[in-house]
Amino acid sequence: SPGHRSPLNDFQRLRATELLAVPADLPPPLPEQGTAEQCAQRCATSLACRAFHHDQQSQLCQLLPWTQHSPRIQLQKNIRYDLYQKKDYLRDCIMGDGSSYRGTRATTEKGLRCQHWQATTPHDHSRFLPSPRNGLEENYCRNPDRDKRGPWCYTVDPNVRHQSCGIKKCEDAVCMTCNGEDYRGTVDHTESGTECQRWDLQHPHKHPYHPNKYPDKGLDDNYCRNPDSSERPWCYTTDPEREREYCRIRICKKRPRPVNVTNGCFRGKGEGYRGRVNVTVSGIPCQRWDSQVPHKHHFVPEKYPCKDLQENYCRNPDGSEAPWCFTSRPTVRIAFCFHIRRCPDEQDAQECYHGHGKHYHGHVSKTRKGITCQPWAAQTPHVPQISPATHPEARLEENYCRNPDDDSHGPWCYTMDPRTPFDYCAIKPCSGSTVPSIMENTDTVTFEQCGQREERLQQKGRIVGGQPGNSPWTVSIRNRAGVHFCGGSLVKEQWVISTRQCFFSCDADLTGYEVQLGTLFKDPGPGDPDQQTIPIVRIVCGPSESQLVMLKLARPAALTRRVALICLPPERYVVPAGTVCEIAGWGETRGTADGSVLNVARLPVLAHSECDRALRGRLKESELCTAPLRAGVGACEVSWAG
């Protein structure tokens, strides 16, 4: 209803952008005080206003008589302003009969050029003359008489008085493929004709889909979108009685080919995984996608034809963190299939190095991720701590990979990616090159500042069948929907360590992802006094075979009785056989413990040689085993925690 629609619904927003007159000979509009909605209301009622700048910080706006399509006007980035322009002046499609169309189309559907509305030749007319209200500008197509065929114009052909311009309706202008997750058209009404609510507003309906939190979902203005992998695009409505409805959008005739199709491993988030794994990490069979037992769901194959929901295979139809499935166990609804290995995303090694590669002087200049190396003498995009001036003997030439600091993981370089300060290079150890073993230390290690907590009774057992416990360094990692999908451990106030398997890319945009600390519950209530929720701002992957990632938090965690730091062992330290280690997480519990509560278990470490024999020589020096051995699944695999 009109009383619940925002005046901003009539405007299209461009963030951090302003309109400039070129040359800048026009006086700048005077600033006015007001919120974005107040400024939109003023602009909407002014015949002279077509757009406005809004400064969110000062709550000032400038009403503008032009748009980006006006002569001698250009767009320019300006972090101070958001630019709002009237949709009617930007659309290249029409809503309804197109009487509100104010675009710049000036040819008919047959290709004839339009006659200026002010002109009287070749066709004399007096019924439709330009005025401030009717929008009859230049020779642009318009619909002043609400012709059901849409905008039209008089033509410059003496033999054709007027003709329709053939402008498409917005619901037909851009088609959608599959379920419309990639639809970026400008339909802003539902199939019942109800106007959509803006995604950046919380009235009349509160919702979780903030554009800043979902930057990849195209949540622009109040256009129909599909951010949650529904059957098709939808929107929240401006009707308080109807929260959300589907939109009518044309389906493309040609179905796109699936990208990143894999079978034995998965890339990214695994949306292209088409393998046949059909059990969860802990061996529970998956539920068939065409079944509603034991779990009811809407991911049925006929409604998601592009998602390959065959049999009961692990799939990712909704853009989650990895392939997953509904399980055949009534007490466990959904489980990620993190036991499917990730496809290697590193470059093939081009050369080799001996030892740590300190004396490697080859010409490889790309990292394992394929990023070009920054020249050692350059100061951008990263200011180097190591340079030809600081290490003149290291032969830091051009942008070639080197190991001037004898890094144990091999040659590396600073990179040309502003988000990746450095990375290791696509170079492998030469065959026969000996790498010092890490299986030799006998030092006793003690910790005083980390690993401390209020002790409580710790029962023996696994996470599967473990006991609710106190693990103040264990954190819950949440995706944009606020759903727990992995665990991690707090190693510094602003850093969490987790597993590479949980993240789809070492360059992942984790906007909207958070960690929860200080709670025993996977889904804590809003009144939990010890809970801390902190956004993740950066991901840093470890060396090639480490399978670890570091997550930087937006701010330091406050250390309390429920939030503490875990201890990190010294470099190359070997945990002695028989040491009792602790694992914690919110894993699949098979009904033997409470999966909604943090479970803690204590397990003894096995000797490396004993475990390697049991695993037939597949154990790496950097890995350890705990007793009792269970083929295929380890306790840490179950919960992906600490």
With 90 as the cut, is the pLDDT of residue 26 above it? no
Same domain, 428 and 494: no
Going by pLDDT thresholds of 50, 70 and 90, the confidence category of residue 12 is very high
Verify cis geometry, omega within 30 degrees of 0, for the bond prior to 23.
yes
The percent of residues in the chain predicted with pLDDT above 70, rounded, is 88
Average pLDDT of the residues in 211-233: 91
Q: In terms of residue numbers, what domain contains 57?
A: 2-89
- Looking at the structure, tell me whether residues 491 and 618 fall in a common domain: yes
219 in any annotated domain: no
Region 108-133: what's the mean pLDDT? 91
Q: Domain with 402 in it: what CATH number? A: 2.40.20.10
When pLDDT is cut at 50, 70 and 90, the band that residue 148 belongs to is very high
What pTM was computed for the model? 0.68
Q: Please give the share of the chain, as a percent, with pLDDT higher than 90.
A: 48
**Domain termination site, one of 36, 64, 89:** 89
568 and 502 within one domain = yes
Q: What's the confidence (pLDDT) of residue 466?
A: 45
Contact 172, 127 (CB under 8 A): no
Highest mean pLDDT among 18-22, 23-27, 252-256, 433-437: 18-22
Residue of 143, 162, 282 lying closest to 593 (CA atoms): 282
Helix (H, G, I), strand (E, B) or coil at 19: strand
pLDDT band of residue 592 (cuts 50, 70, 90) is very low
User: Across 52-56, 95-99, 209-213, 408-412, which has the greatest mean pLDDT?
Assistant: 52-56
Cβ burial of 70 (10 Å; 0-12, 13-18, 19+) is middle
The encoded tokens of residue 93 equal 């499609």
Q: What are phi and psi of 514, to 5 degrees?
A: -140, 165
- Range in 1-5, 66-70, 173-177, 351-355 the model is least confident about: 1-5
Q: Note whether 474 and 605 are same-domain residues.
A: yes
Is residue 199 domain-resident?
no
DSSP helix/strand/coil, 397: coil
Look at residue 246 and tell me if it is in a domain.
no
The answer, yes or no, to whether residue 437 has pLDDT greater than 60, is: no
Give the pLDDT of residue 308. Answer: 93
Q: How confident is the model at residue 612 (pLDDT cuts 50, 70, 90)?
A: confident
For residue 107, list its beta bridge partners: 113
Q: How confident is the model at residue 634 (pLDDT cuts 50, 70, 90)?
A: very low
Does 212 reside within a domain? no
pLDDT band for position 450 (cuts 50, 70, 90): confident
pLDDT at site 432: 62
* pLDDT(350) > 60: yes
When divided into structural domains, the chain yields a total of 3
- CATH number, residue 23: 3.50.4.10
Shared domain check, 525 and 584: yes
Say whether both 538 and 397 belong to one domain: no
What are the counts of helices (DSSP H) followed by strands (DSSP E) for the chain?
4, 26
Residue 250 lies in a domain: no
What pairing do the DSSP bridges indicate for beta strands 484-492 and 474-478?
antiparallel
More confident residue, 441 or 66: 66
pLDDT of residue 123: 94
pLDDT above 70: residue 497 = yes
**Whether residues 518 and 407 fall in one domain:** no
Q: Is the pLDDT of residue 622 over 60?
A: yes
DSSP bridge pairs for 533: 516
Proportion of the chain in helix, strand, coil states, percent, rounded to 5: 5, 25, 70
In this structure, what are the phi and psi dihedrals at residue 443, rounded to the nearest 5 degrees? Answer: -70, 150
Q: Is residue 60 part of a domain?
A: yes
Instruction: List Cα–Cα distances, 528 to 519, 520, 523, 531, 561, in angstroms.
Output: 7, 10, 10, 6, 14
Which of 28, 61, 89 delimits the end of a domain? 89
414 with 474, same domain?
Answer: no
> Has residue 571 been placed in a domain?
yes
What is the rounded average pLDDT for all residues in the chain?
A: 85
Enclosing H/E stretch for 42: helix 36-44
The mean pLDDT of 479-498, rounded to a whole number, is: 91
* Helix extents (H) in 157-247: 170-173
- Binned at pLDDT 50, 70 and 90, residue 597 comes out as confident
Same domain, 420 and 475: no
Residue 10 pLDDT: 94
Residue 535 and residue 403 share a domain: no
pLDDT tens digit string along 557-578? Answer: 999 988 999 988 877 778 888 8
The Cβ of residue 99 has, within 10 Å, a number of other Cβ atoms equal to 18
What pLDDT is recorded for position 454?
A: 64
Q: How far apart are the first and last CA of the chain?
A: 52
Residue 80 inside a domain? The answer is yes
Give the CATH number for residue 500: 2.40.10.10
530 in the same domain as 627? yes
Residue 257 has pLDDT above 60, yes or no: yes
| Domain final residue pick, 62, 89, 116 | 89
Q: How confident is the model at residue 434 (pLDDT cuts 50, 70, 90)?
A: low
- Across 439-454, average pLDDT: 59
Residue 435's pLDDT is: 52
Q: Judge if 492 and 631 occupy the same domain.
A: yes
pLDDT digits (tens, 9 = 90+) for 56-90: 999 999 999 999 998 889 899 898 999 999 999 99
